[in-house]
Amino acid sequence: MKLLVLGAFLVYLYHQPCEAQGINLPSPCPCPLVKGYVCGWDGVDYMSPCWAGCRKVKVKCKGRCPCPDSTVCPTLEAPVCGNDGITYKNACNAQNNGATVKCHRPCPCPPSSCPECCLPNTNPNC
């Protein structure tokens, strides 16, 4: 019993410094233990993009949190729908949040009536 308690205490001490630094500990993911820290959109440091992805977190920037300041966006109100299904104030805000513009209007985007590729001068509204 004493050995079990000692083992649990050693595991606690081993993990404590990582948690104190705000570093997410590895979970059962098939990621290599290579350190190339990234900051996730949740504000947590991950050992690599693989570890962030394993936790279903998008990478905000390379390196430890906090990330350098994002682009300062204009206050222009031009709502766009991001590829993540979130409506953003404008395209700049979508980009700063790691999203790409799916359509230039609030979400949801309507089904597209244009083909993937428009020929020149055949359908100028595409």
Is residue 67 within 8 Å of residue 37, measured between CB atoms? no
Domain 22-68 has CATH 3.30.60.30: yes
The model's pTM: 0.41
Is residue 82 within 8 Å of residue 88, measured between CB atoms? yes
Q: Which pLDDT score, from 0 to 100, does residue 19 have? A: 45
43 Cβ contact list (under 8 Å, min separation 6): 65, 66
> What are 17-26's contacts with CB under 8 Å, separation 24+?
21/45, 22/65, 23/47, 24/51, 24/55, 26/51
Q: Where in the chain is the domain with CATH 3.30.60.30?
A: 22-68, 69-111
Which of these CATH numbers, 3.90.1180.10, 1.10.3470.10, 3.30.60.30, 1.10.10.1110, describes 69-111?
3.30.60.30
User: In whole angstroms, what is the distance from residue 101 CA to residue 126 CA?
Assistant: 16
Closest CA to 25 of 77, 101, 94, 17: 17
What is the per-residue pLDDT across 72-120, written as a single tens digit (0 to 9) for each?
788 889 999 999 899 999 998 888 877 889 999 999 999 875 555 555 5
Residue 38, pLDDT > 50, answer yes
**Mean pLDDT score across all residues of the chain:** 76
